[in-house]
Chain A
Amino acid sequence: MAISPLYALRETGQNLWRNILLTTATIITIGVSLLMFGSFRLFNDAVDNATQRWEGGIEFVIWMNPEASAEQDSAILEALVSSPQIRDHTYVDQLETFEEFKELFADTPEMIEVVTPEAMPPSYRVVPLDPDADVVEELANQFRGRPGVKEVVSANETIRSIQDLADRAGIFLFAGSFVLLAAATLLILTNIVSAIRNRGREIEIMKVVGATNWFIRIPFMLEGLAQAMIGAALSWGGLYAFDRFVLSEFSQPDGLELLAGFQVSDEQFLTTTIWLLGIAIVVSVIGSLVAVTRYLDA
């Protein structure tokens, strides 16, 4: 026997309205927790985008001239391999650099249109044995001004600070969202248990006249889902504002040069949106399933 959509909607609406205060508290908690989780993801994505060439212990980058000769190139390579102070290095060719550039400026296609892979400088990403700033600077200096080298850029302390700050803020946002999501699950459960108790006589009659368990359960489960979805929609709105008005500010021409590229792509934003929806569904299913199996079927 199928449940009529009109019946399910009417019952779900009534359940939500009867407990409007608790419903509002639940929606706000879900919204804030998902906003924190979404911010954690977007912030991490933005930091990764902005600092991706400084990951894996890379402390300085030797940018070569696109026109550097093979001899000049191999001289640099030989110096890197033979140096006892250098643990590792990676060569990034022009095509890979172009791909990196495209990712960094994904939201400004006009920048991508004016460059070609041939114009991109290849580079060596260098991981020294000792990451101490003075040692890194001294090592970097050994390569500055050598034939074929365009520029040597070292990761300065500000970049390291941003990565460190992002890590700490990420832990706070992730832990905070986790705690709030647990609270939201309990609130959904409480809300549904309260609705079940309010409708005790109705449920008793439904069971006596032969309504199926699913017919009785579905409006309560939809109630949990509705709260989670409204909460997710609110958090999505908050994240959209965060992306458009905060993250994008960093990449403005008059912003800090260091923070150029501190933004997320549309694809990353969509992935986060899917995460929000998925978590909202999981939270509502857990909360409402526990409520209906423990308090409705008893």
Chain B
Amino acid sequence: MIKLENVTKVYKGDNVALRDATLDIGKGEFVFLVGASGSGKSTFIRLLNREEVPEHGKIFVAGKDIANLGTWKVPYLRRNIGYIFQDFKLLPNKTVAENVAFALEVIGKPRHVVKKQVPAILELVGLSQKMSNFPHELSGGEQQRVSIARAFVNRPLILLADEPTGNLDPQTSVGIMRLLDRINRTGTTVVMATHDRGIVDTMRRRVIELDRGVIVRDQARGVYE
């Protein structure tokens, strides 16, 4: 599903964020990206979403070399990739249902599809009772569930999560991880950057560790360190 071949990303001032990275992530895998702040986790995720372009190497997503993708094709790539933010990034003037529907409306999905898919995804994340609430009326965990619903409502092949539990307490984080695990079991590939040792050690999934832009560990059913 995802393949990196000798990928190097350098920011201004010769700041190497990712160096000569090569790896394969299969369909339906759940992968944790771990490493200290500045180790290149976020860059890795941004490269997969084509927010960044590598200086060297190739990145294949669903068989397509996205490093050489034309700019006009990028939106179509992103429709196959869900993105979960650490700080949720919900729209404060829209209700829960409207926030989720927004993700479908802006890619031109017909109204009847929106009407059908939004309640279904809110049911999946356990927020059916709060469809009409505004984000400020929700807890942090509930806001992250809305963010996950928005990322998954279009049934993407890949879900990228950049520290999705970073702003949540441990108990709420467990609930979010259960939800991501459930989504992963539908066949969706999940790539999640995290600092949460407890979650990584509990779930025992594939762990890729980065250190100053270099992949120093790639372990199946791994732990945080």
Q: Which residues of A contact B (CB under 8 A)?
A: 1-4, 7, 201-202, 204-213, 215-216
Contacts and interface: CB of A to CB of B under 8 A. Distances in A.
Interface in B101-157: 102-103, 105-108, 150-151, 154
Interface stretch (B17-25, B75-83, B210-218): B75-83
Contact of A210 (B89, B102, B107, B150): B107
14 contacts: A1-B108, A2-B108, A7-B105, A201-B89, A202-B102, A204-B89, A208-B78, A209-B107, A210-B78, A210-B107, A211-B75, A211-B106, A212-B75, A213-B75
A213 B106 CA distance: 11
The interface centre, meaning the residue of B72, B103, B154 with most chain A CB atoms within 10 A of its CB, is B103
A205 B72 contact: no
Contacts of A1: 107-108
Contact of A208 (B49, B72, B108): B49
Nearest to B83: A208
Interface in B92-107: 102-103, 105-107
A210 B72 contact: no
Contacts of B49: 208
A10 to B, nearest CB: 10
A210 B79 contact: yes
Nearest to A297: B71
A4 B108 CA distance: 8
B36 interface: no
Contacts of A4: 108
A1 B105 CA distance: 11
Given A2-B108, A205-B102, A210-B77, 17 more contacts: A1-B107, A1-B108, A201-B89, A202-B91, A205-B91, A207-B78, A208-B83, A209-B83, A209-B150, A209-B151, A209-B154, A210-B75, A210-B76, A211-B75, A211-B106, A211-B107, A212-B72
B89 to A, nearest CB: 6
Contacts of A212: 72, 75
A104 to B, nearest CB: 57
Contact of A215 (B79, B102, B108, B150): B108
A208 B108 CA distance: 14
Nearest to A205: B89
Nearest to A216: B106
Given A208-B49, A211-B75, A3 B108 contact: yes
Contacts of A211: 75, 106-107
B78 to A, nearest CB: 4
Contacts of B107: 1, 209-211, 215
A4 B76 CA distance: 18
A3 B105 CA distance: 9
Contacts of B151: 209
Interface in B36-78: 49, 71-72, 75-78
A205 B150 CA distance: 10
Contacts of A3: 108
B91 A209 contact: no
